[in-house]
C-alpha cells in the first residue's frame, strides 16, 4: 500500500467484502447457468464437425418438426456416409414428470451416440416393447432394469407399457431421456411411419459434404409420392426383407427440409429467439449492474466514515492524489478477494444443485460449464465499478 497507516476500519472492510461477495455470487450463478444452457443445447445432437442434422425448417422448436423417414434410406446409400439415424423426439409423462422419449433404430443410433450401460443390458432390435433409461432420469425417478413403465404421450392420448432393459450413460443431455424403438416413438408422437423428427448423419468430409446430401434430398423432393400402403401392415411397422427397411415415400417441399451441422442445429433455434453467447453475457452483466447500486452506496458510506482519518492524513502532508490512489488500491485488494470468494461460492452452489438433478430446462439437466471468460468478466466488472465508486467521492475532498 502507498500509505502505511491503517485508517480503514475492519468492520467497514468486512461489510464491503460481504457486499461484493454477494454481487459476484449472483453474477456468476446467472452467467454460468445461462452459458451451461446455451452450450448444452448446442451440443445436444452430437459434437464434432462430422455430424449433421436433416431437420424441418418449419418447426417452431427442434422437437416439433417432421421430415420424411425415407430420406434416411437414400442418404445412407451415399458414399462417405458413415451412419444415418432417423429419430423421433416425443414429449411424454412418466410417473407424473415430463420427460422426452427418443424413438430410434438402435443399431444406427449407437454408431452416433455410444452408450455405457450402467445397469442391465442393451435392448435387442426384436424387442419392440423395451426401453433404456438415461442415468440421470433413472436416479431422479428411482427406475431400474426390469421395471414396467407406462408412458403417456403429451401430444396425443396414447399410452405405451414398456419394460426397462437397462440404464445407460452418455455424458450428454440424453441421460435425461428414454430410448425406445422408433415405431414406439412415432406412436407417442402421433405420426405414421413415414415421418420422423430429424435424421442425424455422420459423414466423412473427405468424401461427402452437407451440400451433396442436400442435393440428394432435392432430387427426392422432385419425385412424386410412391406410398403404396405397404407400411400399414404389421401394426404400422416397416416391412423388412434381408435386414433392409422399406420406408413409405412421401412427397414434401424442399424448402421445408434443412441440412446443417449438428453443432449449429440448436444454435439456429436459440438465436431465433435472441439467445447468443453475447446476449447471455450482456444479460449477466445487466444483472450485475442492477445489483451494483448497493456496492456504490457501500463505498460512498465507507469514504464518509473515514472522512476524519483522511483529513488527518491530509494535515500531515498527504496529497489528495496520494490518498485517492491509496484508497483505491486498498478497496481493489478487498474487492479482488471478495470476487474470488463469490465466484467460488457460485461454483460450489451450482455443483450442489446440479447433483440434485433439479437444474433443468425442457426436462433436460443443464450441464454447468465454468467458463474462464465469465470469471475474468466478473473481476473486470467489479474492478471497474469499485474504481468508479471510489474515485468519485474521493475527488471532492
List per-residue pLDDT tens for the chain, 397 residues long.
Answer: 444 555 566 777 788 888 889 888 888 887 787 776 666 665 555 555 788 889 888 876 667 789 999 899 889 989 999 999 999 989 899 988 888 899 999 999 998 888 999 999 999 877 888 999 999 889 888 999 999 999 988 877 888 999 999 999 987 778 889 999 998 999 898 888 889 998 999 999 899 988 999 998 998 887 765 554 444 444 444 434 334 455 677 788 888 888 887 767 666 656 555 555 566 666 666 776 666 666 766 666 666 655 565 656 556 555 666 667 777 788 888 889 999 999 999 888 888 877 765 665 555 666 676 778 888 888 888 888 888 777 664 444 4
Residue 64 lies in a domain: no
Residue 230 lies in a domain: yes
Residue 262 lies in a domain: no
Whether residues 220 and 288 share a domain: the answer is: no
Handedness of CA 382, 388, 393, 397 (dihedral sign): positive
Q: Spell out the residues 6+ positions from residue 12 whose beta carbon is closer than 8 angstroms to its own.
A: 301, 302, 305, 306
33 close to 335: Cβ distance less than 8 angstroms: no
81 close to 208: Cβ distance less than 8 angstroms: yes
Last residue of a domain, one of 229, 247, 265: 247
Whether residues 209 and 300 share a domain: the answer is: no
Give the distance, in angstroms, between the CA of residue 384 and the centroid of all CA atoms in the same chain. Answer: 31
Whether residues 206 and 301 share a domain: the answer is: no
Residue 5 lies in a domain: no
Closest by CA position to 213, among listed 170, 261, 153, 177: 261
Residue 226 lies in a domain: yes
Where is 196: in which H helix or E strand? Answer: strand 195-196
What cell was used for 70?
Answer: 425415407
- pLDDT tens for 324-364 read 777 778 888 888 999 999 999 988 888 887 776 566 555 56
Whether residues 185 and 86 share a domain: the answer is: yes
Q: What span, in angstroms and rounded, lies between the C-alpha atoms of 42 and 266?
A: 5
Whether residues 234 and 292 share a domain: the answer is: no
Whether residues 176 and 81 share a domain: the answer is: yes
What cell was used for 164?
Answer: 426397462
The CA angle 95-359-370, to the nearest 5 degrees, is: 150
Q: How many domains does the chain have?
A: 2
What cell was used for 110?
Answer: 449407437
Q: Provide the pairing of β-strand 177-181 with 97-104.
A: parallel
Last residue of a domain, one of 228, 247, 266: 247
Residue 280 lies in a domain: yes
Residue 258 lies in a domain: no
Q: Spell out the residues 6+ positions from residue 70 whose beta carbon is closer than 8 angstroms to its own.
A: 194, 220, 247, 248, 249, 250
Q: What span, in angstroms and rounded, lies between the C-alpha atoms of 164 and 181?
A: 12
> Which range marks the domain in which residue 182 is found?
70-247
Whether residues 305 and 161 share a domain: the answer is: no
- pLDDT tens for 114-136 read 899 999 999 987 788 899 999 98
363 close to 174: Cβ distance less than 8 angstroms: no
Residue 131 lies in a domain: yes
What is each CA distance from 146 to 23, 119, 122, 151, 165, in whole angstroms?
49, 10, 12, 15, 6
Q: What span, in angstroms and rounded, lies between the C-alpha atoms of 243 and 15?
A: 72
Whether residues 86 and 232 share a domain: the answer is: yes
What cell was used for 265?
Answer: 442445429
What is each CA distance from 24 to 68, 275, 303, 336, 346, in whole angstroms?
49, 23, 22, 10, 8
What cell was used for 256?
Answer: 421445408
Whether residues 218 and 96 share a domain: the answer is: yes
Whether residues 142 and 287 share a domain: the answer is: no
Whether residues 236 and 320 share a domain: the answer is: no
Burial 62-78 (b: 16+ CB within 10 A, else e): bbebbbbbbbbbbbbeb
Task: Kindly report the pTM of this predicted structure.
Answer: 0.65
Last residue of a domain, one of 204, 226, 247: 247
CB half-sphere exposure, 36, CA atoms < 13 A: 22
Whether residues 241 and 280 share a domain: the answer is: no
Amino acid at each position: 500500500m502507498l500509505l502505511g497507516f491503517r485508517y480503514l476500519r475492519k468492520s467497514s472492510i468486512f461489510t464491503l467484502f460481504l457486499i461484493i461477495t454477494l454481487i459476484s455470487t449472483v453474477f456468476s450463478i446467472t452467467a454460468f447457468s445461462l452459458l451451461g444452457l446455451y452450450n448444452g443445447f448446442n451440443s445436444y445432437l452430437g459434437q464434432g464437425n462430422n455430424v449433421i442434422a436433416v431437420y424441418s425448417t418449419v418447426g417452431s422448436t427442434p422437437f416439433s418438426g417432421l421430415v420424411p423417414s425415407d430420406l434416411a434410406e437414400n442418404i445412407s446409400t451415399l458414399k462417405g456416409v458413415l451412419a444415418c439415424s432417423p429419430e423421433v423426439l416425443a414429449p411424454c409423462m412418466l410417473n407424473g414428470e415430463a420427460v422426452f422419449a427418443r424413438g430410434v433404430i438402435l443399431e444406427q443410433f449407437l454408431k452416433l451416440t455410444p452408450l455405457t450401460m450402467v445397469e442391465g443390458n442393451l435392448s435387442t432390435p426384436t424387442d419392440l416393447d423395451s426401453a433404456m433409461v438415461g442415468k440421470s432420469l433413472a436416479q431422479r425417478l428411482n427406475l431400474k432394469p426390469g421395471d414396467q413403465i407406462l408412458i403417456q404421450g403429451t401430444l396425443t392420448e396414447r399410452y405405451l407399457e414398456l419394460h426397462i432393459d437397462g440404464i445407460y450413460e452418455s455424458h450428454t443431455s440424453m441421460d435425461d431421456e428414454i430410448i425406445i424403438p422408433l415405431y414406439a416413438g412415432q406412436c407417442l408422437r402421433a405420426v405414421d411411419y413415414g415421418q420422423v423428427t430429424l435424421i442425424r448423419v455422420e459423414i466423412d468430409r473427405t468424401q461427402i459434404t452437407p451440400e451433396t446430401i442436400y442435393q440428394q434430398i432435392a432430387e427426392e423432393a422432385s419425385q412424386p409420392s410412391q406410398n403404396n400402403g405397404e407400411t400399414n401392415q404389421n401394426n404400422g411397422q416397416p416391412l423388412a426383407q434381408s435386414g433392409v427397411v422399406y420406408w413409405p415415400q412421401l412427397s414434401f417441399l424442399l424448402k421445408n427440409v434443412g441440412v446443417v451441422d449438428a453443432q449449429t442445429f440448436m444454435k439456429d433455434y436459440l438465436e431465433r429467439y435472441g439467445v447468443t453467447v453475447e446476449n447471455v453475457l450482456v444479460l449477466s452483466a445487466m444483472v450485475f449492474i442492477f445489483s451494483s447500486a448497493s456496492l456504490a452506496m457501500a463505498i460512498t458510506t465507507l469514504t464518509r466514515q473515514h472522512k476524519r482519518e483522511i483529513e488527518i492524513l491530509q494535515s500531515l502532508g498527504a496529497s489528495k492524489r496520494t490518498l485517492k490512489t491509496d484508497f483505491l488500491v486498498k478497496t481493489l485488494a478487498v474487492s479482488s478477494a471478495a470476487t474470488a470468494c463469490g465466484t467460488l461460492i457460485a461454483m460450489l452452489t451450482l455443483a450442489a444443485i446440479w447433483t440434485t438433478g433439479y437444474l433443468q430446462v425442457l426436462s433436460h439437466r443443464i450441464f454447468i460449464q465454468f467458463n474462464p471468460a465469465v470469471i475474468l468478466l466478473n473481476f473486470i466488472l467489479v474492478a471497474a465499478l469499485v474504481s468508479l465508486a471510489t474515485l468519485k467521492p474521493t475527488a471532492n475532498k
